A and B are shown apart, each in its own frame.
Chain A
């Protein structure tokens, strides 16, 4: 099983600032990496697939990069609606696995 490790567990950031989330895979996943956003009480929402392809309706301030085992999600300028939990997920191997999530809090 590929273990996905996200760091840090919590980020405290002010609106308008730039934030970077980290996701590491225990084995290479090629470009088969997605990011999801989950707000409190809601289902997850797809942000990025294939490392860097934004889903329909996702603002350009969200971007992704990385390859192999190291990946990042960047929000260029935080908006109030971005405070949520963010998960990475690999779909290169079975079982599909998610990181444990990074909670983005208002500073």
Chain B
């Protein structure tokens, strides 16, 4: 059974940093691209960043480019999101999500439970 457990969310000050983690199990982690998707309170879903199975390719939303870095450690079956220069508008529940096909970037077939990031002074 696929399981994604996100953690690392916290209260951070504007301009501060956080690192989110997502521990994956139940599938061959290195074969699947992964992603972070966020949801601001009471709002819809917004794709943030994606990374290939090998980690060699990365894609970011314009709103986080230059501030957020997605990475993965396939030996630990863990996905990360390093978040720097945080802004109030980054406040959201951050979901890690697995892409549905090996080596592709298609639909998201499994989602973690989310970890809450709050940016406020």
List residues of chain A with CB under 8 Å of any chain B CB.
Answer: 32, 34, 36, 38, 43-46, 49-50, 55, 87, 89, 91, 94-101
Beyond the given A38-B45, A50-B107, A98-B46, could you list 17 further A-B residue pairs with CB under 8 A, ordered by the A residue number?
A: A34-B107, A34-B108, A43-B111, A43-B114, A44-B95, A44-B108, A45-B111, A46-B110, A49-B100, A87-B45, A89-B107, A89-B108, A91-B106, A94-B59, A95-B47, A96-B47, A96-B50
List residues of chain B with CB under 8 Å of any chain A CB.
Answer: 35, 44-47, 50, 59, 61-62, 95, 100, 105-114
- The A interface, classified by DSSP as helix, strand, loop or mixed, is loop
B34 to chain A, nearest CB (A): 13
Q: A43-B112, A94-B59 are in contact. Are A49 and B45 (CB under 8 A)?
A: no
Can you spell out 24 A-B residue pairs with CB atoms less than 8 angstroms apart? A34-B106, A36-B45, A36-B108, A38-B45, A43-B112, A43-B114, A44-B108, A44-B111, A46-B109, A49-B106, A49-B107, A49-B109, A50-B107, A87-B45, A89-B107, A89-B108, A94-B59, A95-B47, A95-B59, A96-B35, A97-B47, A98-B45, A98-B46, A100-B44
